[in-house]
């Protein structure tokens, strides 16, 4: 199955010059969604992880079923002010702006092997910040996976010392 056929591309969203990869069309296709998660599960099984971590919001959509299939817990990384307990914060740059992420201070124990997952690797800012939060808590980043990678944005360069897997690639 060619999963690229299930991704809707919207040009000039959220601003001119951006080619947005909309995964909602893949998510609504039961077989396509299953195939995509199964491919990530195959990668995750090789990493022998204790937890899956995913940033808000599409990282939740991909990460939660991945964690379930791997039989491990899921840790959300959220936008500032969304988590109720004590948090750690990391600011980062987006392809089209700046933002910050937070994670509970007690979400990861030192030495736990973590698989970080998100829907899209673009410039790498979101995931680099997620990596930093995991490592600040003593977690070991066992792998990083994405449904989609836009290789022309060179986000992989921010993750060069990590094992990175993507299911779909765009230039």
DSSP-derived letter for residue 127 is H
Does the active-site annotation cover 95? yes
Cα 34 vs. chain centroid, distance in angstroms? 17
Element (H, E) at 19: strand 19-22
Does the active-site annotation cover 156? no
User: CB 122: neighbour CB atoms within 10 A?
Assistant: 23
Element (H, E) at 70: helix 58-70
Query: Of the listed 58, 78, 102, 112, which one is catalytic?
Result: 58
User: CB 113: neighbour CB atoms within 10 A?
Assistant: 16
Query: Of the listed 4, 89, 91, 95, which one is catalytic?
Result: 95
Residues involved in catalysis:
58, 95
């Amino acid at each position: 199955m060619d999963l690229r056929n299930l991704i809707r591309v919207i040009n000039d969203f959220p601003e001119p010059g951006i080619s947005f990869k909309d995964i909602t069309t893949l998510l609504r296709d039961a077989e396509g969604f299953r195939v995509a998660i199964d491919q990530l599960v195959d990668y995750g099984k090789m990493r022998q992880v204790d937890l899956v971590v995913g940033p808000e919001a599409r990282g939740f959509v991909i990460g939660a079923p991945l964690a379930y299939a791997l039989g491990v817990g899921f840790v959300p990384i959220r936008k500032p002010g969304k988590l109720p307990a004590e948090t750690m914060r990391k600011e980062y740059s987006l392809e089209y702006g700046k933002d910050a992420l937070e994670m509970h201070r007690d979400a990861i124990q030192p030495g736990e092997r973590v698989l970080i997952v998100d829907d899209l690797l673009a410039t790498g800012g979101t995931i680099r910040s997620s990596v930093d939060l995991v490592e600040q808590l003593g977690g070991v980043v066992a792998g990083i996976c994405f449904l989609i990678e836009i290789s022309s944005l060179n986000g992989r360069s921010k993750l060069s010392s990590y094992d990175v897997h993507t299911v779909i690639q765009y230039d």
